[in-house]
Structure 1
Amino acid sequence: MKILIASDSYKNALSSQHVANAIEIGFKRVFDDFIYEKVPLADGGEGTIDSLKNVIKNYKEIEVDVLNPIEEKIKAKYILTDDNTAIIEMAKSTGIELVNESKRDVINSTSFGFGQQISDAIKNGSKKLILTIGSSATNDVGIGMLQALGVKFYNDKNEEISHQHILTAKDISQIDNFDISALRSLRDVKILIACDVENILYGKNGATYTFAKQKGAKSNEIEFLEQSIIKFSSVCERKLQKKIHNEKGSGAAGGVGFALQAFLNAKSRSGIETVIEFINLEEKIKESDLIITGEGRVDEQTVYGKTIMGVLNIAKKYNKPVIILAGALDKGYEKLYSYGATSIFDITPSNLPLEDLLLKTEKNLIATSYAIANTMSISLK
């Protein structure tokens, strides 16, 4: 039997490669003679570049000085392939994992560092950008990113606010006009967004109501952010003569998806679909007898473009069984059975404090995989 292990990472605990290794260890204790293929996956969030590096033959990693979401100086890497395609992971510069939980402050956070990555890739001659924009810490509708690319923003008194300081989410509501002449140099650059969600810009399924709270926004800040973004969207529609706010993925990364589509004519695509194409996952699934996938949390949001759905869609096409291993299961995970999941398991054995569970993730994942393999061995006898 050939087993394909194609999982996302378990956030804050294990990389996708370490997840695959742990599952293999558990299964090999029972089925040592099976054939195992491990394919680390990502859906546009953290770890996407590491997943793609496994299949890109010729590339170089470029390190650039950037500001993280709370304007601390850090270094962020991106990939430049031999055909001058830049693959830039937003999580490397603007990711939520870059900010200690005690310091997370979405109102005063910026996507400026992501713009610095993009600017550096353009300076290095890239004419095609693949931007993975998951796992961000920001809700600034991309104004920080645009500022780093040279866009100037003005208030209703025609005073430039973008030369005063790095723009954050608290500045969105002041914007009444902008100058995009600096973006002319990007006209010939093809930009593809690899996005891990399909949320629109605002509304009950928009960027703020869906994601701001988990990025640290307080309840009294959420409505301020929502109204600020609605106003900014209106300004953009008036100036750019485009209606983007209802486009899929416009609410990704706190509205960075909107900014990329509206200002840079970027095309949005599912992050997992982008990764699947790069690594030729369909062929690997077709040639396997069993697929094991998973991610840190599996819930009702999983069906909206996450890694597991990418795997399930292909496996269903070839009638392949799929086992899902989750760091934690939450409301709505049952929906995945209707999309082709064979079995879904929660590796968490008890209601211990989160910090304790994270430390035991690898141990619990190996134990769960071993238990599943044991059950399989009984049914195969």
Structure 2
Amino acid sequence: MKIIVAPDSFKGSLSAVEVSNSIHLGIKRVFPQAEVLQLPVADGGEGTMDTLVSATGGEKREATVVGPLGNKVEASYGILGDGETCVIEMASASGLALIPDGKLSPLKATTYGTGQLIKKALDDGFSSFILALGGSATNDGGAGMLQALGLNILDEQSKPIAYGGGELNKVTKIEMESFDERIKGCQFLIASDVQNPFIGSEGASHIFGPQKGATPDMVRLLDQNMDHWANEIEKVTGIQLHELPGAGAAGGIGGAFLAFFPSKMKRGIDIVLEHTGLIDSLKGTDLVITGEGQVDLQTASGKTPMGVAQAAHRENIPTVIIAGSVGEGVEILYQFGVVSVSSIINRPLTLRESMKNADVLLTTSAEQVVRSFFHHRLHREGGIYIEN
């Protein structure tokens, strides 16, 4: 018997590796001799760099950069096991997790540190990049990132604008002369599931601004400023970001990459599955187990469980999902080879209790899932289930 365990993290509780270990333990309680292949994954958000580095036997390098609020932070970028591909996780330099509680500042938050990480990798000789955009604290349209790479973004006094989306309305000129020429000779693969445009009711500011601390008034201001910024970008590049799908990713940095970099976007989960070897490992697999903290209708938009299930479904392999909690709309997942979705909660618990005991709950849940799924291949012998 072969079972693949390929979960994402349970955010705020367990890493993807820890989730995988807990599920593995539950399987082994039922099938001590089973072949269990652990392939913890991510969908392009936080944890993507660690997942790819670990799966390929790569390494990480540290750098001190400008954080989202302008202070110095310690960030890192990854190098895949091929020694040639650099993975930059935006959250490492410009993420929400770097901002203390109560200090969110969407008008001032900058992507400058992300640009510094890219420059550091360029200085180290890399030309192939994977950029994971999840978990950003910013709404500056990628302006800070571009400034760190030498783009001159100037106001009417021909002075560089300050950090943040609140400054974008001041842009009157973009000078390309000092923009890092090495970028033209590189390849940038953008890991993002977001299809939101740069501006408008479905754009970066309206959809993602509130989770970064933007009030309704701030959202309107940021959207107006992003519109102005898109106009200025179009003057220089000829590219219209305003309604371009994916341009609104990570506060608009997706648009900056599409306009100024030789880049293409791809679902984060597909990039991760390719590099972790899950697809190649599916042959001969009886069951795939995946999961994440919350599974609901949004999961079908390309989050980890959906991507894993789709890959398994193409090989006619069933998938079960184990989640911290199960919301509405999960029925759509059954169209893609998912045979069941279950929560780890097995008794009345507070959120704090369930997060604190997630490892034990996961192990118990995995055991029950496996017992149920393989009931027809088992018989009871001395209280231990053994495969026929």
Name the TM-score, length of structure 2 as normaliser.
0.90
Residue type at the aligned position of 1:12: G
**Superposed, which structure 2 residues align to 1:64-143 within 5 Å?**
64-81=63-80, 83-143=83-143
**Superposed, which structure 2 residues align to 1:1-381 within 5 Å?**
1-57=1-57, 59-81=58-80, 83-155=83-155, 157-162=156-161, 165=162, 167-183=163-179, 184-349=181-346, 353-376=350-373, 378-381=375-378
2:385 corresponds in structure 1 to none
Deviation per CA, 1:295-321: give whole Å up to 9, x if none: 122222222222222212211111111
Deviation at residue 5 of structure 1 after TM alignment: 0.3
Q: Identity of counterpart residues, as a percentage? A: 35
Q: Any idea what SS the aligned residue of 2:31 has?
A: coil
Cα separation, 1, equivalents of 2:245 and 2:337: 24
Tell me if structure 2 keeps the 8 A contact 1:248–1:268.
no
Cα separation, 1, equivalents of 2:345 and 2:139: 31
Cα separation, 2, equivalents of 1:197 and 1:243: 18
Deviation at residue 16 of structure 1 after TM alignment: 0.7
Tell me if structure 1 keeps the 8 A contact 2:53–2:59.
no
Tell me if structure 2 keeps the 8 A contact 1:250–1:256.
yes
Name the TM-score, length of structure 1 as normaliser.
0.91
Tell me if structure 2 keeps the 8 A contact 1:158–1:177.
no
Cα separation, 2, equivalents of 1:120 and 1:226: 31
- RMSD over aligned Cα, in angstroms? 2.1
Deviation at residue 83 of structure 1 after TM alignment: 4.6
| 284-293 vs 196-205, which moves further | 196-205
Cα separation, 1, equivalents of 2:351 and 2:165: 30
Q: Any idea what SS the aligned residue of 1:130 has?
A: strand
Distance 1:197 1:255, change over 3 A: same
Deviation per CA, 1:117-168: give whole Å up to 9, x if none: 001111111122221111212121111111111212123x243233xx4x11
Cα separation, 2, equivalents of 1:342 and 1:149: 48
Deviation per CA, 1:55-91: give whole Å up to 9, x if none: 324x442211012212232211112355543211112
Q: Any idea what SS the aligned residue of 1:187 has?
A: helix
Tell me if structure 1 keeps the 8 A contact 2:45–2:132.
yes
Cα separation, 2, equivalents of 1:55 and 1:366: 23
Deviation at residue 338 of structure 1 after TM alignment: 2.2
Deviation at residue 190 of structure 1 after TM alignment: 1.8
Distance 1:206 1:39, change over 3 A: same
Deviation at residue 217 of structure 1 after TM alignment: 2.1
Equivalent residues, number: 376
Deviation per CA, 1:171-193: give whole Å up to 9, x if none: 12222321122223322122221
Cα separation, 1, equivalents of 2:360 and 2:103: 30
Cα separation, 1, equivalents of 2:262 and 2:7: 32
Deviation at residue 352 of structure 1 after TM alignment: 5.2
Tell me if structure 2 keeps the 8 A contact 1:76–1:93.
yes
Cα separation, 1, equivalents of 2:335 and 2:203: 25
Distance 1:353 1:245, change over 3 A: farther
